[in-house]
Structure 1
Amino acid sequence: MSSQPTSNAPVLHVQGLGFGFPGHSLFQDWSADFPAGLSLIQGGDGTGKTSLLRLFAGETAPQAGSVTLLGMDAVRQPAEYRAQVFWRDPRAPWPDTLTPLTWVEQLPAHHPRWSGEAWRAHVAGFGLAMHLHKPMYQLSSGSQRKVLLAAALASGAVLTLLDEPLAALDKPSISYLLQALEAEARASRWPGRAVLVAHYDALGDLPWCARIAL
């Protein structure tokens, strides 16, 4: 079971991380702490942002070191760890028959702090209402991203991971997302929640609790 961190304790603790691919090392003895709030992982293409998020999600195991979320080890306690995380690779394909509504109906069972109120607000903010009954594969890349972002923000997950969240978004949706992230950073509704954003630039003046450059 998860527990709330003390005021000075990180939500996510990474110690001595090692990971890479044959002939290409991404991380060696890499350590970082991420507190509650909004954090940025900044780097260009090929710097390992997505690989790092997969490690943080418990989807990929580190080759060295440890990743712990409120004291739960991603390798030794995989089920407990992943139950506290919201992550879906935005580039992964969607099942043919899945609609935004049928997908979202499954999420409260996995995310106990799911907020239907927040989901509805983000659906309105992203202009998604007309798309909710369509199969996901029929939606544009931008609309698929908006569905994913709305669900991520509504999940209330202790660790929420967003990979290049501005990709494929139109200007009004970018403006809405930045406002939503700022509101999330300042909210006290979900104490102890860490939202990690991986992006190639600094995303303006958002109130980052931590900023990591790759």
Structure 2
Amino acid sequence: MTTTTPQILLQAERLTFHFPHRALFTGWSAQFGAGLSLVCGGDGSGKSTLLRLLAGVLAPQSGHLTLNGAELARHPDAYRTQVFWCDPADGALDSLGARDYLALRRHQHPAWDVAALEEDLDALGLWPHLDKPLYALSTGMRRKLRLAAGLASGAPLTLFDGPLAALDRRSADYVLDRLDDCADSTGRAVIVAHHAALDGVPLATLVDLPGDGSTSS
């Protein structure tokens, strides 16, 4: 019987990140392979901060991040072009129309899956809203649009912060099904930050952050 070792796509080595008022991560290390991973923890545990660090939009005080052989500090462009990240709190693109937003994301991600996007737009009820600017969409609709873009992106590292927040029950169930599909991904690491476990969804990696917001290796 032959066994294979899962390919490690993302390595975080000895990351340290401290806010002025508290230490959040000190010498933190982890490895993420293909499939679905969960960063779990309560409010203030550092879930969103960790995703921003992994996305390369927030710089650690020390440590290294390497994605498919590209080290963030030495090859930032090669690292970041492999990442889909959309900060739910960032409204910088909200003046774009929904179609233009999707076109922008498609341009950024060469492995874009048109068929998957169309299926997600249909299931999430987004078609009637594509001619609206993002600022005119409800919080739930903006989140659905970003989720659809991320799922379609095919990005080697795809990061979702609170993917079920502000969703109706039917949409949340659909997103859970799509995340379950991501568990079978090869060559793609999908990392979700959520306050609790994703029931019934198989995980490649579970990162459980302590509630006091102070994490070390």
Same fold (TM over 0.5): yes
2:188 maps to amino acid = R
Q: Which residue of 2 aligns with 1:204?
A: 199
Aligned length: 206
Q: 1:112 to 1:103 in 2, by over 3 A?
A: same
Q: Give unmatched runs, 5+ long, in structure 2.
A: 210-217
Q: Which residue of 1 aligns with 2:175?
A: 177
> Is 1:213 aligned with 2:208?
yes
> Is 1:149 aligned with 2:144?
no
Q: Which residue of 2 aligns with 1:3?
A: none
Q: Is the 8 A contact 1:38 1:209 kept in 2?
A: yes
Task: Determine what percentage of the aligned residue pairs are the same residue.
Answer: 48
* CA-CA distance at 1:8 after TM superposition: 3.2
Distance 2:82 2:57 in 1: 13
Q: 1:96 to 1:165 in 2, by over 3 A?
A: closer
* CA-CA distance at 1:38 after TM superposition: 0.3
SS at match of 1:11: strand
SS at match of 1:186: coil
Q: Which residue of 2 aligns with 1:10?
A: 8
SS at match of 2:8: coil
1:64 maps to amino acid = S
TM-score by length of structure 2 reads 0.91
Q: Which residue of 1 aligns with 2:69?
A: 71
Distance 2:205 2:116 in 1: 25
Distance 1:29 1:193 in 2: 25
Deviations 1:164-197 (A, max 9, x none): 111100001001000111122225xxx3100000
Q: Give unmatched runs, 5+ long, in structure 1.
A: 1-5
Match runs of 1:43-82 below 5 Å: 43-82=41-80
Deviations 1:98-130 (A, max 9, x none): 111011112222101001111111101111111
Q: Which residue of 1 aligns with 2:166?
A: 168
After TM superposition, where is structure 1 displaced by more than 6 Å over at least 4 residues in a row? none
